[in-house]
Amino acid sequence: MNVVLPDKSKIELVDGSTVADLAKKISEGLYKRAIAAKVNGNIVDLSYKLNENDEVTILTDKDAESLDILRHSTAHLMAHAVQQLFPDVKVTIGPVIQDGFFYDFDTNKPFTEDDLVKIEERMTELSKKDIKIERSEIDSNEAIKKFSDMGENYKVEIIQDIGESKISLYSQGDFTDLCRGPHVPSTGHIKYFKLLSVAGAYWRGDEKNKMLQRIYGTAWFKKSDLDEYINRLEEAKKRDHRKLGKELELYGTFDEIGSGLICWMPKGAKVRSTIEDFWRKEHYKNGYELLYTPHIGKATLWNTSGHLDFYSENMYSPMDIEGQNYFIKPMNCPFHIMIYKSKNRSYRDLPLRWAELGTVYRYERSGVLHGLLRVRGFTQDDAHIICAQDQIESEINEVLNFSLQIWKTFGFSSIKGYIATRPAKSVGDDSLWMAATNSLMNSIKQSGIEYELDEGGGAFYGPKIDLKVKDAIGREWQMTTIQFDFNLPERFDMTYVDKDGKEKRPYMVHRALLGSLERFFGVLIEHYAGAFPFWLAPVQIKIMNISDEQAEYCISLGKKLKENGFRVELDLRNEKIGYKIREAQMYKIPHMLVIGSQEKDNNLVTVRLRNGENKNNLDFSDYFSVINEINTNRSINLWR
């Protein structure tokens, strides 16, 4: 038989040949490096039997898909080690996640850090044995009996839910697991891995089910990649916004108030205020009008919007007000629509760009709450654009350019777009989807940023662009969303009168630029490791005297700076100047003005920057010009 290679050439094989046979025939080197293959677009094991005219691409450790295969196989290796060390433990599921994998286990005794060390050591032993990993397919009833006999009731439940007549299994030595695959050919391919942590997790994410033990790990093809990742994790720990938020007195959460509800402390509130002021100013410059809407709305509003039908599990219980149910809002959209419908609209009114820093509340399980990144109450930088069809593309261009400008101002230069298109289940005419998707495609191409297409990944009510930004240590965060909505305009019967005098349905675009202020602030803290740029810092300048003789001069400097809008603190304590500087550096204050006799007598300042650099004996007016320039330009540099 013949199979087709990526360059469209054909190679002849004996009938019944596998992918491994093909790799070996091409070259011994490729055979040794082969991990899996793509056959007619589907990823398969090396043991897969080929057919006439199959299109085959051999995957090696150089291919992105191979890393997921390696990590999936490492999850199985970990489960193998766990069952050897703890025979009474039951295995459940072990999927690949970003940068690694996890496996959930049912055990009466929680795993300890010492247990992770033992498991990792056993995994290394199993890897060195280079055990062959073999795939088999059996009847589902036979599989149910097999796992029942093993006492693996979770696997039985999974098989019953799958509801297929045939089930695939993977075996390596004395370990067999239920899995679709594919996997690496043998355990010897799994060399560079690390178990990272253990946590509790409910079976199938349902808090009514049993709490399981989840072990997280990572795996890489190269030791250097593993070492780099571990170093990145260590750096991420140092930058953890929960740790820095407490140390820098930025925000707090309190049991007495409730989980997932954020209190912004004075320093954090200063940063938030600076962000909000910038946000408002830029929105007005870009043709937006600002709205303010209530925190609650009648049940009838949420019925019309469809939230009570499709989103009620994320909404809090209603409150009775004079015999009518009111819900605290999970979204701002219905309020903006009601403002639109408050009067008849003409094509001359469009486009409308309406934005709101609107606080919303959504139910999140306590297990997924995470500092500022996953909360129950948050303020969205929400906006809605309502326009006619011939305005779509120019509006998306404007939104995308506006988004990129904002992200670059905050110091994020690595930005990637993801376009999600129409899913199988959706609402709206094909023409609407086509026009909206084309506008997204054209705009992102014009922007020049890298992007990927997510076919069928859109919401049921419209296509969208997601922008993801990379932080200072290379982590990707999903932030901006530009989302078309063909559902709400229909549900609320939104119309405008066009040039021809006929009523038409407007296009509606949801746009969250920063996402939410809480989550954005968490990302910002970690991006800068709490050392915010001068223009964003809660305290920009700390003025400190060497002796009491300079106190009055320090006070006068502070007054001038505060009058010009700078955020200033004075430290006039009778302490050594080194102590004052160390304390200011602990709070990551960008500029420290060290004032001694020479500075006082000559109207000078000595500036110590947060990075340890000194600017000695500057005329105060010169210093003022520098900081004014930094603030005006919103520079991310400490000096000019």
Give me the pLDDT at residue 163, please.
87
- Residues with catalytic annotation? 333, 362, 380, 382, 384, 464, 510
When pLDDT is cut at 50, 70 and 90, the band that residue 426 belongs to is: confident
Give me the pLDDT at residue 582, please.
96
Q: What is the mean pLDDT of residues 253-275?
A: 97
- The CA–CA distances, whole Å, from 397 to 77, 114, 449, 536 equal 49, 55, 13, 28
The overall average pLDDT reported for the chain is 95
Token pair listed for 168: 């695939």
- The CA–CA distances, whole Å, from 224 to 75, 193, 221, 624 equal 21, 11, 9, 47
Token pair listed for 599: 């500075």
Give me the pLDDT at residue 297, please.
97
Residue range 303-315, pLDDT digits in tens: 999 999 989 999 9
- Asked whether the beta carbons of 537 and 610 are under 8 A apart, the reply is no
Q: How far apart are CA 326 and CA 618, in angstroms?
A: 61
Token pair listed for 377: 């109450």
The string of DSSP letters for 505-553 reads PPEEEEEEEEEEHHHHHHHHHHHHTT---TTT-SS-EEEEESSGGGHHH
Domains in the chain (CATH in brackets) are 2-60 (3.10.20.30), 65-239 (3.30.980.10), 267-293+329-528 (3.30.930.10), 541-633 (3.40.50.800)
Residue 333 has pLDDT above 90, yes or no: yes
Residue 248 has pLDDT above 90, yes or no: yes
Q: Give the DSSP letter of residue 62.
A: T
Residue 293 has pLDDT above 90, yes or no: yes
- Asked whether the beta carbons of 271 and 294 are under 8 A apart, the reply is no
Residue range 19-30, pLDDT digits in tens: 999 999 999 999
When pLDDT is cut at 50, 70 and 90, the band that residue 136 belongs to is: very high
Q: What are phi and psi of 553, to 5 degrees?
A: -65, -40
Give me the pLDDT at residue 429, please.
87
Q: What is the mean pLDDT of residues 564-573?
A: 97
Report the largest interatomic distance among the alpha carbons of the chain, rounded to a whole angstrom: 95
Give me the pLDDT at residue 588, please.
97
**3-state helix/strand/coil string of 336-382:** HHHHHCCCCCEHHHCCEEEEEEEEEECCCCHHHCECCCECCEEEEEE
Q: Number of C-alpha atoms within 13 angstroms, CB side, residue 59?
A: 23
Give me the pLDDT at residue 208, please.
85
Q: How far apart are CA 473 and CA 372, in angstroms?
A: 19
Q: How far apart are CA 389 and CA 432, in angstroms?
A: 9
When pLDDT is cut at 50, 70 and 90, the band that residue 41 belongs to is: very high
Give me the pLDDT at residue 207, please.
79
- Asked whether the beta carbons of 137 and 168 are under 8 A apart, the reply is yes
Residue range 496-542, pLDDT digits in tens: 999 999 999 999 999 999 999 999 999 999 999 999 999 999 999 99
Q: Is the pTM of this model over 0.75?
A: yes
Residue 366 has pLDDT above 90, yes or no: no
Residue range 467-484, pLDDT digits in tens: 999 999 999 999 999 999
Share of the chain above pLDDT 90, in %: 93
Give me the pLDDT at residue 428, please.
86
Picking from 81, 74, 7, the residue whose alpha carbon sits closest to that of residue 35 is: 74
Residue 115 has pLDDT above 90, yes or no: yes
Token pair listed for 212: 């399981």
N-terminal to C-terminal alpha carbon distance within the chain: 69
| More confident site: 207 or 607 | 607
* Coil vs helix vs strand at 414: coil
- Asked whether the beta carbons of 103 and 78 are under 8 A apart, the reply is yes
Q: How far apart are CA 555 and CA 570, in angstroms?
A: 7
| More confident site: 362 or 366 | 362
Q: What's the gap between Cα 596 and its chain centre? A: 48
- Asked whether the beta carbons of 185 and 61 are under 8 A apart, the reply is no
Residue 163 region, left (φ>0) first, then alpha (ψ -120 to 50), else beta?
Answer: left
When pLDDT is cut at 50, 70 and 90, the band that residue 432 belongs to is: confident
Give me the pLDDT at residue 368, please.
85
